[in-house]
Amino acid sequence: MNQLPTTPTPTPITRYRVIHRTDYGYQSMVTLSQQYLHLTPRSFRYQKSLSHRITVDPTPNDWSDGIDYFGNLTNNLTLTTPHQVLVVHAESEVELYARPGLAQITGSVAWEVLQDSMRLSQGATSLEPFHFLYSSPHILCSNALQQYALASFTPGRPLLDAALDLTYRIFDEFEFDSEATNISTTLDEVLNGRRGVCQDFAHLMIGCLRSVGLPARYVSGYILTHPSAGQMRLIGADASHAWVSVFSPDWGWVDFDPTNRSLVQHEHITLGWGRDFSDVTPMRGIVLGGGQQILGVSVTVSPLQDAQNVAL
């Protein structure tokens, strides 16, 4: 594969504060809770984590920090204090750097060139793209996904131009519907129903790319939302988000957001990435007791100059 372009030390584009609060309310007392968190933003080529802290109530009896297989920062918590409410509050500040724009990514190599190099393992300088080339727990490659992808990946078309077209088609042909799917909904059901949420659209696009032999990974994070003219930014009104990263021999990993019909630039904050949602779930765990539970999640993304207006 080609060497990625060398770039000078990047200049920061913008800074954000992110507050992510998760509340669990239980019907009865929980006597043991073990939780695994992906709530710490990554530092990488286009993003730097400036500060981060997580507070938990009740206080965990055991806490360990780690790094998962994909390089994401993790936290393992164990709570043995009986409780009926669990609150996890994550607060981060990040700095974002310029990504390649639409004008820069035009004229990338033809997609078949990358397909051939993946199939033949020729010229690979890293094994990383191969981790994101095959089916995974929530993304099953299929002929139906391949056929949907090939409407964008026509013979000889530049890789990133085709990926952008696929991004646009998913936005244009699918409807955002928070009631249409759940974590067990298959990609075939999403493809046939033409409805879903950001997680579904990210899985769908990744499944299409992998089904034509191209590496793509799932990115978990947040996106800045824009209030209506004259309105204040609402605290806690944002949400976790998901999008797609496509490997390019020219540019490395390039991110696309099919939910918002966009090439990712400077309004997406990355928590982590993996093969699909199951690798980077913000918070998951097991509890002993508790009965029925009520989950509440609120996210606030603020440009740093606005952050002093956000209640912590």
Q: Is the pLDDT of residue 311 over 80?
A: no
Residues 123, 227, single domain; the answer is yes
Taking each helix axis from N to C end, the angle separating 111-120 and 159-173, rounded to the nearest 10 degrees, works out to 110
* Token digits of residue 195: 């409805």
Per-residue confidence band for 308, with pLDDT thresholds at 50, 70 and 90:
very low
Q: Is residue 113 part of a domain?
A: yes
Answer yes or no: do 161 and 230 share one domain.
yes
User: Where are the strands (E) in the chain, listed by range?
Assistant: 12-37, 47-57, 62-67, 73-79, 83-97, 175-176, 195-196, 216-223, 240-248, 252-257, 262-263, 268-274, 283-289, 293-303
User: What is the average pLDDT across 115-136?
Assistant: 85
Mean pLDDT value across the chain: 91
pLDDT in tens, 86-122: 999 999 999 999 999 999 998 889 999 999 999 887 5
Look up the pTM and report it: 0.92
How much is the pLDDT for 123? 53
Which position has the higher pLDDT, 166 or 304? 166
3-state secondary structure of 254: strand
Same domain, 259 and 297: no
75-79, 101-105, 133-137 — which is least confidently predicted? 101-105
Residue 119, H or E segment: helix 111-120
Q: Does residue 5 form part of some domain?
A: no
In the block, residue with structure tokens 């010229």? 123
Q: Does residue 36 sit in the same domain as residue 117?
A: no
Asked whether residue 7 is assigned to any structural domain, the reply reads no
Could you tell me if 121 and 230 lie in one domain?
A: yes
Q: Which H or E element spans position 114?
A: helix 111-120
**Domain tally for the chain?**
2
What pLDDT does residue 95 have?
Answer: 96
| Inside any domain, residue 4 | no
Instruction: Answer whether 38's CB lies under 8 Å from 281's CB.
Output: yes
How many alpha carbons fall within 13 Å on the CB side of residue 99? 22
Q: Residue 300's domain is classified under what CATH number?
A: 2.60.40.2250
Q: How confident is the model at residue 307 (pLDDT cuts 50, 70, 90)?
A: very low
Give the number of residues written for the chain. 312
**What pLDDT is attached to residue 127?**
85
Q: What is the DSSP string of 184-241?
A: T--HHHHHHHTEE-HHHHHHHHHHHHHHTT--EEEEEEEE---PPTTPPPPTT-B-EE
- With the C-alpha atoms ordered 270, 267, 310, 233, is the resulting torsion angle positive or negative? negative
Pairing of β 12-37 and β 47-57: unpaired
Q: Distance (Å, rounded) from C-alpha 145 to C-alpha 204? A: 8
Which of 189, 279, 202 lies closest to 241, judged by CA?
202
CB of 258 closer than 8 Å to CB of 201: yes
198, part of any domain: yes
Do residues 72 and 108 share a domain? no
pLDDT digits 0-9 by tens, 253-294: 999 999 999 999 999 999 999 999 999 999 999 999 999 999
Question: Does 74 reside within a domain?
Answer: yes
**Residue 123, domain CATH:** 3.10.620.30
Range 32-37 average pLDDT? 98
**Percent of the residues in the chain that have a pLDDT greater than 90, as a whole number:** 82
Q: Which domain holds residue 149?
A: 101-278
Decide if pLDDT at 235 tops 60.
Answer: no
Report the relative pairing of strands 252-257 and 262-263 from DSSP bridges. antiparallel
Percent residues over pLDDT 70 in the chain: 90
Give the residue, 171 or 11, on which the prediction is more confident.
171
Q: For residue range 148-204, list pLDDT tens digits in order.
A: 999 999 999 999 999 999 999 999 999 999 999 998 899 999 999 999 999 999 999
The per-residue pLDDT for 312 is: 40
Residues 115 and 247 in one domain: yes
Which H/E stretch holds residue 124?
none
Task: Examine the domain organization and report whether 206 and 261 are in the same domain.
Answer: yes
Q: Per-residue pLDDT for 6 more than 60?
A: no
16 beta partners: 94, 303
* 172 and 191 within one domain: yes
Residue 1 lies in a domain: no
Backbone conformation region of residue 204, classed left if phi is above 0, alpha if psi is from -120 to 50, else beta: alpha
127 with 271, same domain: the answer is yes
- Shared domain for 269 and 293, answered yes or no, is no
User: What phi, psi does 35 have (nearest 5°)?
Assistant: -125, 145
Tell whether 31 is covered by a domain.
yes
Domain co-membership, 78 together with 106: no
CA distance 169 to 159: 15
Of 270, 299, 280, which Cα lies nearest the Cα of 67? Answer: 280
Tokens of 81: 């204090």
Beta strand 195-196 with 283-289: parallel, antiparallel or unpaired? unpaired
